[in-house]
Amino acid sequence: MLAGVKTTCPYCGVGCGVIATPNPDGTVDIEGDKDHPSNYGRLCSKGSALGETVDLDGRLLYPEVHGKRASWDTALDLVASKFNEAIRDHGPDSVAFYVSGQILTEDYYLANKLMKGFIGSGNIDTNSRLCMASSVAGHRRAFGTDTVPGTYSDLESADVIVLVGSNLLWCHPVIYQRIAAAKKERPQMRVVLIDPRRTKTGDLADLHLPVRPDGDATIFLGLLKWLVDHELTVPAWIEEHTNGFDKALANASEWTVERVALATGVAAHDLRLFYQMWSQNERVVTCYSQGVNQSSVGTDKVNAIINCHLATARIGREGMGPFSLTGQPNAMGGRETGGLANMLAAHMDLENATHRERVAEYWNAPNLTEKPGYKAVDMFDAVADGRIKALWVMATNPVVSMPNADAVEAAIADCPFVIVSDVMAETDTVRHAHVKLPSLGWGEKDGTVTNSERRVSRQRQFLPAPGEATADWWQMAEVGRRMGFEADFTYRSNAEVFSEYAKLTALENDDERDLDLGAVSDLSKSDYDAIVPFQWPQAECFDPSKETRFFANGRFYTPDRKARFVPVVAPESVVEEHGIFRLNTGRVRDHWHTMTRTAKSLRLNAHMAEPYCEMNPADAARLKINAADLVTVSAKKTSITVRALLSPDQMPGTVFVPMHWNDQYASSARVDALVEANCDPVSGQPALKGSSAVVTRSAMACHGFVLSREVPNTEGLDYWAIAKAKSGWRLEFALLQEPPDAHRVLSRLVDADENALSASDKYRGFWRAASFDGENLEAAAYLSRGPVEVSRSWAAEQLVTPFSSPKSRWRVLAGRPAADMPDKGAIVCSCMSVGVNEIANAVRGGCHSVDAIGKATKAGTNCGSCKSEITEIIDANRLIAAE
């Protein structure tokens, strides 16, 4: 066995340390790094399954120009000449980069240097704009700089943790695990969840405030008033270290508990409990995530939270402070290096002439831009109306993830010149590229990332570069050189790029700026390769063991070094009415972004194999929608078709649809095509959780399920969703019309020969067929008038089950295991492949705790992401047993 390599998980902003061990057979073993201070060995289901995502299936391995393989020289020369041509004819603002929180700090640094310093435009923005731009804007308004004051350990030492708009269990699972472990040790710790949905994270909460969408700012206005009314602020600290308190308070003064209750839908009694909990415990951490950021009033929400922490001086000390949780692995690296269109680099400001001069001189930049560029939504508007002539997209899939996604797709398709750097050969965005550049994937690339607690870690290469794939920073440097900036983009290694960036953070800093990497700015390549995770700032003496916090000393990064209260106006918090739902979008437990990686993993597909619309059962009953029906979700003259999932945890009048599904895995499930591009006016972040939609039952005549060794043919199907299964694929589908010859449909789907087994009953409305090659099942297809009743977890095993006897083959047509064989049911624990039926059986056998279930079934014993689902199953089955 080869040696394990210490690297960092490429998914969420928790930034867990991973040890990856490549095996001679090409597989990779993954374990959590016990020495990494962000996770201490823990991983979630996504991190645990990383080894299943590193194969070369579907990879883009060679540069392509106009759909044909080309040499790197040809491709890069063309990119450089097209950019130069556009700049010559239309000016520097006619070109743009749209990059990603997936790229490394070194990639980000060079992309920003090339665009802002040498091309002379601010037109570089990132998909992090969709994720945490409102937190950045809120931080800068309050602190004068984009600073996350605390550390993860504060979450363990806090007495009260408030989670606002954050489904921590699914979106930042290892932070959830750390809080859950701390709460187990100190049961007096209190957790409050403020969210319109009672997400799975609610299981950790002592109190859930089911606030109407966008009502969270009002709750914190009410808290500010409560703190003042109960004389719980710290006037001397406010006086000495802040500005603007009176104005902020004036805006809060009308928000009595009763008024907050009326405006937000939260019971006055629960609000009082929350306000008491918050004010009576000094150690309070308020965590917030996309429910706060992805809103047209996101920046105000951030400042409403920060105002309460400033009013009580609860910031920068152990166990207290506001805490923004970033979505992506290197969203923070992008913020640090100037990946946002309105930032410069190294936490310097575009609007500050001294900062511009300093950076221009340091870079020897001929052309440093003086103004911000287009933020993401504006950028694609500029592509659409022809202002942008050449666009370079790097490591992201805006055709799926941007609001107004269909219009974004049309804009990219019509753009005169589009370059996409990606690891995958076929994504909804790559297909529109004139030039495709193959990038290194996780496991192949090498550099640094920064997580939500300002901890810089190395992503290290442990796999060889496949085909002709190259590092993103190298691609940027090469294009810079070929555009005529040879002397300024002559990097020989990622370490050189990092060193240049780190030196810039320290340049004329002297605590003028929060971000200072001076102590790691002169590393040799081998020191850079060996560096251990550390939190910034590291100004002089490098000490990776030290925890760093900001603002306990009352010194901020505004011109007068005082923090700023921001007067926040309470937004209207509404649930849609008259049959129009408030549409919320977000993540599921086991998928990441647009599924280009997680869809490769069998384990991760097992939890949610289809796109869905979660809605309250009362709303569903009114619309005559049953569980597992297909529904059409419509807005903006477009629609998607997804499965109905009924849950009392969904607030009536609201629906939730996951953001992940794309055109490769479903017929029509790109939910962001329905989302309006309404942006927060300060941050430019779109309100991805704040649009409207109509939901109706899809009147399908037939539903189907296929299990197949080959990729099933989806042509002619009115609805389909496909996912990997063991040794093959599984397909859910539906038809608007009952076919005159159902057997013909089945034969086409399963490529059945005349020896295929089949069964049908037109009267009862089912048709089934299965074909075998020797002892092996080749394919099975099931068609029925209602949702197909076949055990999916059992079916998933059948492509790897030998069928030696004719009798056993008929079992395939039955669609369920024999009476003497267990049916594990829908998979709950994807790490250990444990299904709902197995857990329910264990409950009935006397296991009444998550630990006991773990001992009996192994469910929940690896990453623990499924523990709240196990709790629900225990509760449900204990009740049944008691009846």
Q: How far is the CB of 69 from ligand SF4 (least distance, A)?
A: 34
Q: How far is the CB of 598 from ligand SF4 (least distance, A)?
A: 10
Q: Which stretch binds ligand SF4 (CB under 6 A): 39-47, 132-140, 437-445, 810-818?
A: 39-47
- Pick the closest to residue 860 from 20, 199, 180, 197 (CA basis): 180
Check binding of 327 to ligand SF4 (CB under 6 A). Answer: no
Q: How far is the CB of 16 from ligand SF4 (least distance, A)?
A: 3
Q: Which stretch binds ligand SF4 (CB under 6 A): 9-17, 68-76, 125-133, 498-506?
A: 9-17
Q: How far apart are CA 610 and CA 642, in angstroms?
A: 8
| Contact in structure between 177 and 42 (CB atoms under 8 Å) | yes
| Main-chain phi, psi angles of 844, to 5 degrees | -65, -25
The first and second tokens of residue 770, run together, are: 């299965």
Cis omega (within 30 of 0) on the bond before 537? yes
The first and second tokens of residue 47, run together, are: 């991190």
Q: Of the two residues 329 and 338, which places its CB atom closer to ligand SF4 in the complex?
A: 329
Q: Of the two residues 197 and 597, which places its CB atom closer to ligand SF4 in the complex?
A: 597
| Contact in structure between 614 and 655 (CB atoms under 8 Å) | yes
Contact pick of 9, 142, 595, 749 for ligand SF4 (by CB under 6 A): 9
Question: What burial class does residue 578 get, using C-beta atoms within 10 Å of its C-beta: 0-12 exposed, 13-18 middle, 19+ buried?
Answer: exposed
Distant-in-sequence contacts of 479-483, Cβ < 8 A, 24+ apart = 479/76, 479/79, 479/80, 479/83, 479/114, 480/110, 480/113, 480/114, 480/118, 482/76, 482/77, 482/79, 482/80, 482/81, 483/80, 483/83, 483/84, 483/114, 483/118, 483/119
Q: Of the two residues 46 and 141, which places its CB atom closer to ligand SF4 in the complex?
A: 46
Check binding of 44 to ligand SF4 (CB under 6 A). Answer: yes
**Number of Cβ within a 10 Å radius of residue 180:** 18
Check binding of 355 to ligand SF4 (CB under 6 A). Answer: no
Q: Of the two residues 218 and 290, which places its CB atom closer to ligand SF4 in the complex?
A: 290
Q: Of the two residues 173 and 611, which places its CB atom closer to ligand SF4 in the complex?
A: 173
| Contact in structure between 205 and 192 (CB atoms under 8 Å) | yes
Q: Which stretch binds ligand SF4 (CB under 6 A): 13-21, 114-122, 703-711, 866-874?
A: 13-21
Contact mark string toward ligand SF4, 679..718, x via CB under 6 A: ----------------------------------------
The 3-state DSSP class for residue 514 equals coil
Q: Of the two residues 46 and 768, which places its CB atom closer to ligand SF4 in the complex?
A: 46
Check binding of 597 to ligand SF4 (CB under 6 A). Answer: no
Check binding of 160 to ligand SF4 (CB under 6 A). Answer: no
655: CB partners within 8 A, 6+ apart: 581, 582, 583, 584, 613, 614, 615, 619, 633, 693, 695
The first and second tokens of residue 767, run together, are: 């048709």
| Main-chain phi, psi angles of 461, to 5 degrees | -75, 130
Q: How far is the CB of 289 from ligand SF4 (least distance, A)?
A: 12
Q: Which of residues 778-797 bind ligand SF4 (CB under 6 A)?
A: none
Q: How far apart are CA 316 and CA 309, in angstroms?
A: 10
Check binding of 595 to ligand SF4 (CB under 6 A). Answer: no
Question: What H or E segment, with its residue span, contains residue 761?
Answer: strand 757-761
Check binding of 19 to ligand SF4 (CB under 6 A). Answer: no
Q: Of the two residues 33 and 106, which places its CB atom closer to ligand SF4 in the complex?
A: 33
Q: How far is the CB of 458 from ligand SF4 (least distance, A)?
A: 14
Q: Which stretch binds ligand SF4 (CB under 6 A): 6-14, 252-260, 264-272, 707-715?
A: 6-14
Q: Of the two residues 12 and 103, which places its CB atom closer to ligand SF4 in the complex?
A: 12
Q: How far apart are CA 654 and CA 516, in angstroms?
A: 44
**Number of Cβ within a 10 Å radius of residue 610:** 23
| Main-chain phi, psi angles of 457, to 5 degrees | -130, 160
Q: Which of residues 164-183 bind ligand SF4 (CB under 6 A)?
A: 172-174
Q: What is the DSSP letter of 537?
A: P
Check binding of 571 to ligand SF4 (CB under 6 A). Answer: no
Q: Of the two residues 728 and 864, which places its CB atom closer to ligand SF4 in the complex?
A: 864
Q: Of the two residues 163 and 570, which places its CB atom closer to ligand SF4 in the complex?
A: 163
Q: What single letter denotes the amino acid at residue 119?
A: I
Q: Of the two residues 46 and 241, which places its CB atom closer to ligand SF4 in the complex?
A: 46
- Pick the closest to residue 673 from 644, 697, 637, 632 (CA basis): 637
Degrees (nearest 5) of the Cα angle 436, 441, 444?
125
Q: What is the DSSP string of 477-500?
A: HHHHHHTT-GGG----SHHHHHHH
Check binding of 11 to ligand SF4 (CB under 6 A). Answer: yes
Check binding of 46 to ligand SF4 (CB under 6 A). Answer: yes
The first and second tokens of residue 566, run together, are: 């921001």
Q: How far is the CB of 828 from ligand SF4 (least distance, A)?
A: 18
Q: How far is the CB of 431 from ligand SF4 (least distance, A)?
A: 27
Check binding of 14 to ligand SF4 (CB under 6 A). Answer: yes
Check binding of 16 to ligand SF4 (CB under 6 A). Answer: yes
Contact pick of 20, 43, 343, 723 for ligand SF4 (by CB under 6 A): 43
Q: Of the two residues 43 and 781, which places its CB atom closer to ligand SF4 in the complex?
A: 43
Q: How far apart are CA 247 and CA 136, in angstroms?
A: 22
Q: How far is the CB of 326 from ligand SF4 (least distance, A)?
A: 11
Residue nearest ligand SF4, Cβ-based: 47
Q: How far is the CB of 335 from ligand SF4 (least distance, A)?
A: 17
Q: How far is the CB of 855 from ligand SF4 (least distance, A)?
A: 24
Q: Of the two residues 179 and 310, which places its CB atom closer to ligand SF4 in the complex?
A: 179
Degrees (nearest 5) of the Cα angle 657, 659, 661?
100
Q: What single letter denotes the amino acid at residue 531?
A: I
Contact pick of 6, 7, 15, 441 for ligand SF4 (by CB under 6 A): 15
Q: Which stretch binds ligand SF4 (CB under 6 A): 10-18, 709-717, 726-734, 773-781?
A: 10-18
Q: Which stretch binds ligand SF4 (CB under 6 A): 36-44, 187-195, 252-260, 372-380?
A: 36-44
Q: How far apart are CA 154 and CA 360, in angstroms?
A: 38
Q: Of the two residues 12 and 130, which places its CB atom closer to ligand SF4 in the complex?
A: 12
- The percent helix, strand, coil of the chain (3-state, each to 5) is 35, 20, 45
Check binding of 47 to ligand SF4 (CB under 6 A). Answer: yes
- Pick the closest to residue 467 from 60, 113, 99 (CA basis): 60
Q: How far is the CB of 332 from ligand SF4 (least distance, A)?
A: 13
Q: How far apart are CA 847 and CA 827, in angstroms?
A: 19
Check binding of 12 to ligand SF4 (CB under 6 A). Answer: yes
Q: Of the two residues 130 and 405, which places its CB atom closer to ligand SF4 in the complex?
A: 130
Q: How far is the CB of 14 from ligand SF4 (least distance, A)?
A: 4
Q: Of the two residues 291 and 327, which places its CB atom closer to ligand SF4 in the complex?
A: 327
Q: How far is the CB of 173 from ligand SF4 (least distance, A)?
A: 5
Residues in binding contact with ligand SF4, number by CB under 6 A: 14
Q: How far is the CB of 861 from ligand SF4 (least distance, A)?
A: 16
The first and second tokens of residue 469, run together, are: 């794939």
Q: Of the two residues 201 and 641, which places its CB atom closer to ligand SF4 in the complex?
A: 201
The first and second tokens of residue 663, run together, are: 């055109």
Q: Which stretch binds ligand SF4 (CB under 6 A): 4-12, 73-81, 389-397, 578-586?
A: 4-12
Sheet strands side by side (includes 207-209): 207-209, 190-194, 160-164, 284-288, 321-324
Contacting residues toward ligand SF4, per CB under 6 A: 9, 11-12, 14-16, 39, 43-44, 46-47, 172-174
